Amino acid sequence: MHTQSPFQWLARSGYAARGIVYVLVAGIALFSSFGSGKPDSKSALHVVLEQPLGRFWLGLIALGLLGFIAWRLAQAFGNADGHPPTAKGYGTRFGLLVSALVYTSLAIYASSVALGIGSKSGSGGETGLSAWLIEQPFGRYLLAGVGLATIGAGIAQILKGTGRGYTKYLDIPHTAGTAIDWICMYGLAARGIILVITGVFFLYAAFVVDPGQAGGISDALDWVRQLPFGAILYVAVAIGLFAFGLYGFVESAYRRIRPPTIASSMR
């Protein structure tokens, strides 16, 4: 195995931290039909907090999320993945920047709770981001832009999963078998669906100028549950989010991570 740079280890720890959050969110979603619990990133962090040495583990997740943010910024501003200087390439990089903003909100929340200085009723992730954006100058338009970027990212993830586009970013051993492929395809497609629904919530919040109308994973799952055959679809999407969490571990192990260069950043 090649020697990893500190930046690469930071990025890999970030993928693992995101994987843990999604596995926990999926678990809460699957068991919420039999008990209480809101399937969102904040609730997932509190599951960790309630375990032995919970603050320690939550602090490690927060550090991992900071690594993921650093990697997202390198992808967005440094063009670490080498996207072409086209409308599609710049759109992808903008979506990565939005992802960095979302996980910044979640990392701040996780850090504050781990240190015992945060409010347990505070908001993190998508919901916290929407409330912050709407308060900024031109906040309504910023929120609409985030909504469009989220919808675009969701569609891209669905296509990336169903078309196996993820393979160009992963070095998966030939001996790994087909299970990893199914995890990647299913996980990406399910999370893409959730992102599209979440993006529509962002757009609606921008339209009515009410950050309370923006929603995250929990609200998207609630919407799915209300569809015809909603109970079946809800379970299918929840299992898909669990697969996406496992996909985070796959990326942590096999993702090609190239620290950005000056040349790539100029693209």
Spatial CA neighbour of 237 closest among 181, 187, 198: 187
Confidence (pLDDT) at 119: 55
Percent of the chain with pLDDT over 90: 32
More confident residue, 250 or 31: 250
pLDDT tier, 259 (very low <50, low <70, confident <90, very high otherwise):
confident
Stretch 85-114: mean pLDDT: 87
Q: What pLDDT does residue 118 have?
A: 60
Non-local (6+) Cβ contacts of 7 within 8 A are 70, 74, 257, 259
191-229 per-position pLDDT tens digit = 999 999 988 988 888 887 666 666 778 888 888 888 888
Question: Residues 102, 72: contact at Cβ < 8 Å?
Answer: no
Residue 1 sits at the vertex; the CA angle it makes with 60 and 6, to the nearest 5 degrees, is: 40
Separation of alpha carbons 193 and 195, rounded Å: 5
pLDDT attached to residue 219: 82
Mean pLDDT for the stretch of residues 164-185: 86
Q: The whole model's pTM is what?
A: 0.86
The per-residue pLDDT for range 41-77, each reduced to its tens digit, is 878 888 888 888 889 999 999 999 999 999 999 999 9
Over residues 93-107, the mean pLDDT reads 87
Rg of the chain, C-alpha, whole Å: 18
* pLDDT for the residue 4: 77
* pLDDT score of 91: 85
Cα 245 from Cα 183, distance rounded (Å): 9
For residue 98, the model assigns a pLDDT of 83
CA angle, residues 229, 182, 146, in degrees to nearest 5: 70
- Which of the two residues, 261 and 185, has the higher pLDDT score? 185
Mean pLDDT of the chain: 84
pLDDT per residue over 106-147, tens digit each?
Answer: 898 889 888 887 655 544 555 566 666 777 777 778 888 888
Q: For the ranges 40-44, 81-85, 186-190, which has the lowest average pLDDT?
A: 40-44
User: Is residue 265 scored above 90 in pLDDT?
Assistant: no
What is the pLDDT averaged over residues 235-244?
93
Query: pLDDT-derived band of residue 251, with 50, 70 and 90 as boundaries?
Result: very high
